[in-house]
Amino acid sequence: MNWKDEYKKKISTPERAIADIHDGNCVVMGHAAASPHIIQHALAEHCEDYNDVLIFHMTTLGENECLHPRCYGHFRHVSNFLSANSRDAVNHLEGDFFPAYFKDVPEMIGDEIPCDVAVFQATPPNEEGYCSLGVSCDYALAAIRVAKSVIIETNELMPFTYGEGMIHVSQIDHIIPCAYHLPELHAEAPSEVEMAIGRHCSTLIADGSTLQLGIGAIPNAVLQSLGDKNDLGIHSEMFSDGVADLMRRGIINGSRKTMHKGKAVATFIMGSRELYDFVDGNEDIELYPVNYTNDPFIIAQNYRMVSINSCLEVDLMGQVASESIGMRQYSGIGGQIDFVRGATMSREGKSIIAMPSTAAGGTISRIKPFLTPGAAVSTTRNDVNYIVTEYGIARLKGRTLKHRAEDLIRIAHPDFRPMLIEEYERRFCCKYEVD
Ligand code: COA
């Protein structure tokens, strides 16, 4: 049968497609802006028909109706990265968080993460019958490979992207043709504090560097501070609006990259409608599975690799907590430590963890004598290199515990320095005499 006949035969309805999901099954769903909203809606509408169905997802952008409390008891949510709309469902009695690096998810699918049914979005097929996975390549291919049933929403408004995120019509069981706009994430204009952090980070970024930028307000502010740089490249987990802006201006051109020269490499894309238009059919951008993009040994092969990520708090030894506030799981590790390690191994590479010096409207110092009890360490004190706040840069790599504490106190908010100095003097049995 040629692929066009096969395509027609596989066209299905959401109701017929979800009939492949049975009690006790595990369903793996598409990530971030590529969440499959039609199937999520159908499942939520029919949630009473299901018992103990495990749903695995990571960040889910936009309205994911399966997360609504009315679905609790029918669907259990398991994830290794939480977002605002999934925190309650995953932390609910029946849900759970599992600590895991993003790069390991493809290998875990079919093993630690069983996958009976895979539900993803893609573009309609091209002339050869291949659908692009669009804005999310990450773990999709792994799930599609092992699932007993593959349900794909072929969305006419999904951007077509290059790289390895392609599936053939023959790999699909149910095709749901559709046309809906992807959910958007709009970055707010950076605050004064965030711009100051961005400027400090930019002093650490040399022309010709290849960058990874993490999630949150800080990476966005860093991108806005790079207007005077030349020949930057991208090898990242996420591709955002700020990156697209520097590509349009020719500042990011990949001309000095040692891997994928001239191409911006990522595993998923999340941002505004303009960003989705920019990446659609853009041959300068390539998406690869996350076990490739986030592999420290691949990352390290980039010359002048610089990773820029954010965190929630840092203790005076340089232990970095990026994913939980005490026992409360806030997000996940994603690729933070993989990029820290990859950048550290890269020739002339650097890793930067950047954060505002305070949280909660200035009432809490993010630099602390001790991490909040229960906080997970995302970047260990042995891996950490540069820590940046609006007050400056502390280079911790190669520094003793005493010098680390001194450097961190120097970039802490002035209101909290006396408290930190008191701890320093108690811990090291000496006066703090640093300017
Ligand atoms: N104690 C108490 N509350 C804190 C806190 C602390 N130490 N640190 C932050 N918060 C609060 C903030 O005040 C804010 O609250 P609000 O929403 O009420 O304003 C909230 O927690 C989020 O903090 P913020 O720093 O604004 O988060 P962000 O959106 O900039 O994201 C991370 C920062 C660290 C959560 C995010 O970068 C992350 O998840 N990192 C880990 C994964 C990663 O680095 N991946 C990299 C590869 S893509």
Annotated domain spans of the chain:
8-178, 192-428
- Strand arrangement, sheet containing 320-321: 320-321, 313-315, 367-368
The CATH homologous superfamily for domain 8-178 is Glutaconate Coenzyme A-transferase (3.40.1080.10)
Return the residue whose CA atom lies nearest to atom 15 of ligand 1. 360
Given 153, 194, 237, 313, the catalytic residue: 237
Mean pLDDT of 290-314: 98
Does residue 1 have a pLDDT over 90? Answer: no
Q: Using CA atoms in the order 288, 159, 174, 117, what is the torsion angle rounded to 10 degrees?
A: 40
Q: Using CA atoms in the order 35, 41, 42, 46, what is the torsion angle rounded to 10 degrees?
A: 130
Mutational test site, ligand 1, from 81, 87, 215, 235, max ligand atoms within 8 Å of CB: 215
| Angle at 81 (CA atoms; ends 286, 122), nearest 5 degrees | 40
Return the residue whose CA atom lies nearest to atom 44 of ligand 1. 336
- In this predicted structure, what is the pLDDT of residue 91? 79
169 C-alpha vs ligand 1 centroid, how far in Å? 40
Alpha helix stretches (DSSP H) within 69-172: 87-91, 105-108, 140-146
- In this predicted structure, what is the pLDDT of residue 378? 98
**pLDDT class for 214, splitting at 50, 70, 90?**
confident
Beta-carbon-side half-sphere exposure of residue 306 (alpha carbons within 13 Å): 21
Mean pLDDT of 140-156: 98
User: Which ligand 1 atom is at minimum distance from the Cα of 360?
Assistant: 13
Token readout for 184 is 């958007």
Q: Which of 20-34, 90-104, 251-265, 393-407 has the lowest mean pLDDT?
A: 90-104
Return the residue whose CA atom lies nearest to atom 19 of ligand 1. 360
DSSP string, 310-362: E-SEEETT--EE-SEETTEE-S--TTHHHHHHHHHHSTT-EEEEE--SEETTT
Q: In angstroms, rounded to a whole number, what is the distance separating the alpha carbons of residues 109 and 11?
A: 26
Q: For 394, list phi and psi in degrees, rounded to 5.
A: -115, 120
**pLDDT class for 251, splitting at 50, 70, 90?**
very high
User: The tokens 């040692």 sit on which residue?
Assistant: 258
Q: In angstroms, rounded to a whole number, what is the distance separating the alpha carbons of residues 92 and 88?
A: 6
Q: In angstroms, rounded to a whole number, what is the distance separating the alpha carbons of residues 268 and 270?
A: 7
Q: Tens digits of per-residue pLDDT, 113-143?
A: 999 999 999 999 999 999 999 999 999 999 9
Check for a shared fold between 8-178 and 192-428: yes
Burial class (CB in 10 A: 0-12, 13-18, 19+), 323: buried
Q: For 133, list phi and psi in degrees, rounded to 5.
A: -75, 0
Note the pTM of the prediction, 2 decimals: 0.96
Q: Name every residue whose Cβ is closer than 8 Å to that of residue 2 and which is 6 or more positions away in sequence.
A: none
- Strand arrangement, sheet containing 285-287: 162-163, 285-287, 264-266
DSSP string, 274-298: HHHHHHTT-TTEEE--HHHHT-HHH
CATH placement of domain 192-428: 3.40.1080.20
Query: How, if at all, do strands 386-389 and 392-395 pair?
Result: antiparallel
**pLDDT class for 48, splitting at 50, 70, 90?**
very high
Report, in angstroms and rounded to the nearest whole number, the Rg of the chain calculated over CA atoms: 22
Q: Are 218 and 354 in contact (CB under 8 A)?
A: yes
Does residue 423 have a pLDDT over 90? Answer: yes
Residue 237 catalytic? yes
**pLDDT class for 88, splitting at 50, 70, 90?**
confident
Mutational test site, ligand 1, from 85, 234, 312, 416, max ligand atoms within 8 Å of CB: 312
User: Which ligand 1 atom is at minimum distance from the Cα of 359?
Assistant: 13
